[in-house]
């Protein structure tokens, strides 16, 4: 499914997105946890946006990588939300934010272990069966590995292989992780099961020290990340692309520049694109 180039629907920019006056994304993505069960002022804003744009959902709290079993009450509400708003793609993070029945609301690094692969693949299958749609999982940024038995790319590949889930390739996260953990981002991407990539995220980040970048979604996308995006598109099938901007949101001109640059690159790379994976 290729919805074009979209933008994350955030409350700070809800009105300029819905009015389509200053920026014109092809679709919008929202975090269902921030909107489920929401009435009143924001419920009205969401309904207005849903009338204008196709929607995708990018979850925060499924915690697919947690040792805990799935929360089916939560999944039931996700399923209802997906149905109510005709959500086209449901993506989540290959991480965990809950452990031992406690939520931390932050994406934590899963140990890259065989045991985790088996456990997570089982949970992914349960989610896909329950929701009756594919689960698309994002490679997350992380600042330390925890008890790794394999490389990150091997871990992701094993999960995709075992669960048959789809991949959300966050190109900025690849750049951030490659910098933070000193690997080659191109080699990393080529090591992934690229046939499974159905969605791309792009964002900015913040370098906080000589050897550490934090994935803040609070800065403009830098040129090397655009370059990596450009290169990546040569290796994957056309799919939806999303601009994420959560903090320090700039004027519409900058958002337009980033949306248009992503569109130009996608149009250039994918117009003559040979479908690589059936």
Partner 1 sequence: MKSNTHKLQSDFVQTVKGGISDMKGVDRPDRVHHYQRLIKNIFKDVLESAYPITHKILGDEKYSELISDFLLCYSCKDPQYWRMPYEFKVYLEQTELVDHGKHPYLSELLNFEWLEIEIHSQQDVNVKLRQGEIILNPYAELLELKYPIFKHSSHEQLKKGGPYYLIIYRDLEKLTVQFSELNSMSFQLLYSLKGVPQDKDAYCDLIVANTDTNSKATIKHQLDSFIQSMLDKDILLDSSIA
> Binding of partner 1 at residue 144 (CB under 8 A)?
yes
- What's 242's DSSP letter? E
Give the C-alpha separation, 29 to 58, whole Å: 7
- Shortest gap between Cβ of 168 and partner 1 (angstroms)? 20
Window 168-207: contact mask with partner 1 (x via CB under 8 A): ------------x---------------------------
- What's 274's DSSP letter? P
> Binding of partner 1 at residue 208 (CB under 8 A)?
yes
Q: Which residues contact 3 (CB under 8 A, 6 or more apart)?
A: 26, 27, 54, 56, 88, 89, 240
Looking at the Cβ atoms of 86 and 182, the one nearer to partner 1 is 182
Looking at the Cβ atoms of 146 and 190, the one nearer to partner 1 is 146
Number of residues that bind partner 1 (CB under 8 A): 46
Q: Is 82 left (phi over 0), alpha (psi -120 to 50) or beta?
A: alpha
> Binding of partner 1 at residue 247 (CB under 8 A)?
no
Looking at the Cβ atoms of 6 and 65, the one nearer to partner 1 is 65
Residue 87's SS3 state is: coil
> Binding of partner 1 at residue 143 (CB under 8 A)?
yes
**Unique residue bearing structure tokens 């370059």:** 227
Site residues for partner 1, 11-70, by CB under 8 A, read 33-34, 36-44, 60-61, 63, 66-67
- What's 221's DSSP letter? P
- Shortest gap between Cβ of 240 and partner 1 (angstroms)? 25
Give the C-alpha separation, 137 to 123, whole Å: 12
Candidates 223, 224, 230; CA nearest to 273 is: 230
Binding residues (CB under 8 A) for partner 1: these are 33-34, 36-44, 60-61, 63, 66-67, 71, 74, 96, 98-106, 108-111, 113, 115-116, 119, 143-148, 180, 208, 212, 214
């Amino acid at each position: 499914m290729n919805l074009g180039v979209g933008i994350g629907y955030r409350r700070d920019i809800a009105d300029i997105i819905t009015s389509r006056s200053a920026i014109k994304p092809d679709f919008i993505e929202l975090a269902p946890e921030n909107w489920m069960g929401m009435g009143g002022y924001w419920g009205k804003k969401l309904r207005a946006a849903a009338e204008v744009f196709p929607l995708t959902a990018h979850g925060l709290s499924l915690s697919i990588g947690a040792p805990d079993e799935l929360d089916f009450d939560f999944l039931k509400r996700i399923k209802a939300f997906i149905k109510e708003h005709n959500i086209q793609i449901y993506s989540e993070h290959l991480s965990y934010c809950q452990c031992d029945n406690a939520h931390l609301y932050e994406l934590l690094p899963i140990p890259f272990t065989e045991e985790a692969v088996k456990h997570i693949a089982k949970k992914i299958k349960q989610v896909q069966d329950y929701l009756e749609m594919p689960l698309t999982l994002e490679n997350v940024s992380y600042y330390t590995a925890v008890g790794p038995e394999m490389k990150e790319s091997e871990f992701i590949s094993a999960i995709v292989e075992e669960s048959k889930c789809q991949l959300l390739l966050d190109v900025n996260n690849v750049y951030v992780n490659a910098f933070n953990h000193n690997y080659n981002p191109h080699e990393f991407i080529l090591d992934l099961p690229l046939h499974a990539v159905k969605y791309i995220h792009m964002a900015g980040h913040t370098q906080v020290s000589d050897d550490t970048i934090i994935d803040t979604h609070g800065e403009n996308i830098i040129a090397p990340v655009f370059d990596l995006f450009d290169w990546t598109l040569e290796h994957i099938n056309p799919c939806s692309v999303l601009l994420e901007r959560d903090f320090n949101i700039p004027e519409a001109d900058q958002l337009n520049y980033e949306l248009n640059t992503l569109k130009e690159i996608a149009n250039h790379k994918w117009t003559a694109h040979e479908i690589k994976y059936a």
